[in-house]
Amino acid sequence: MSVLIDGLRVDRIAADSRGLAYGDGVFRTLLVHAGAVVHIDDHLAALAADAARLELEMPDAALWQAESLQLCAGQAWAVLKWLLVRRSLGRGYRAATRAAQRIVQLAPLPAPVSPRPAAVAAISDFRLAVQPALAGIKHLNRLEQVWAARDLRDGLDELLMCDHDGHLVGGLRSNLFAVRDGRLLTPAVDRCGVAGTLRARVMRLAAQLGIDCDIVREPPSRLTGCSELFVTNALIGIWPLCRLDERELGAPGPVTARLARELGHPFSL
């Protein structure tokens, strides 16, 4: 793994890092293909929005772009991670500054298998806590996902998560979409969950293609009436589900296939 911290090649962080101690920061995970970052402008906008909500100073976009290019040069496939961590001014929970440390990490990624098999998913028994003040933000507090991932047994590609009230939120590491009666549906993330960049891009694309898209708050039982299911994130693009628990979904449906084709993501269909 290659790491830049505030533009310098280092391999360690300070022991008093608020990211380490409290998860006080935000991050984004990006796909690198052929030496370039896929959808980099989407990630810059999302990182800036999340930083503003946590009252963190957002470094200039040119810094993120230059440092990403420095690490990504010559990479056929890789994963880039941006972290913005509040600087420490002493002990205690109180956030005494907006100043933040900028971290850029690069890790290798295997080339995609073509054609990629559809995903197998299950409904997780683990429930996400409801916290509207932090909902949608990709913050560094990921203990819920770490704990839920214990149930990601062999043969499962993803877990679908619900909130404490039993409403679908999304995948363990993805956002969820469904198709019912020709309409695209995606769970609300205004009480918990992450508003992924691919989620937003798919919703914009659906609007351009004339596909109605509704944000819903529904239990998993409502998925039985859906003809197509797929999950999204910045690394996987659009990934159709072929099975959810014991239900076989078959080949990707026409709406999923059209969105994946028009999206043009390297890992999509």
Per residue of the chain (269 residues), give pLDDT as tens.
899 999 999 878 888 899 999 999 999 999 999 999 999 999 999 999 999 999 999 999 999 999 999 999 999 999 999 999 999 988 889 888 999 999 999 999 988 877 788 999 999 999 999 999 999 999 999 999 999 999 998 889 999 999 999 999 999 999 999 999 999 999 999 999 999 999 999 999 999 999 999 999 999 999 999 999 999 999 999 999 999 999 999 889 999 999 999 998 988 75
Q: Are residues 206 and 228 in the same domain?
A: yes
Do 207 and 157 belong together in one domain? yes
CATH of the domain at 179: 3.20.10.10
Q: What is the pLDDT of residue 16?
A: 87
Domain co-membership, 51 together with 130 = no
Distance CA 23, CA 227 (A): 39
* Residues 42 and 174 occupy one common structural domain: no
CATH of the domain at 62: 3.30.470.10
Query: Are residues 208 and 166 located together in one domain of the fold?
Result: yes
Nearest to 168 by CA among 120, 212, 221, 121: 221
**268 in a domain, yes or no?**
no
114 found inside a domain: no
Residue at 52 is within a domain: yes
CA angle 265/42/158 to nearest 5° reads 55
Residues 100 and 208 in one domain: no
Range of the domain at 61: 2-108
Answer whether residue 127 is part of any domain. yes
CA distance 64 to 53: 19
pLDDT at 112: 80
Domain boundary among 108, 133, 156: 108
Work out the end-to-end distance of the chain between its first and last CA atoms, rounded to an integer number of angstroms: 28
| Domain tally, the chain | 2
- Give the pLDDT confidence score for residue 91 in this predicted structure: 85
Beta strands in the chain (DSSP E): 2-5, 8-9, 25-33, 36-37, 77-86, 100-108, 119-128, 158-163, 168-171, 175-180, 183-187, 213-216, 228-233, 237-244, 247-248
Tell me if the bond preceding 115 is cis, omega within 30° of 0.
yes
Residue 28 lies in a domain: yes
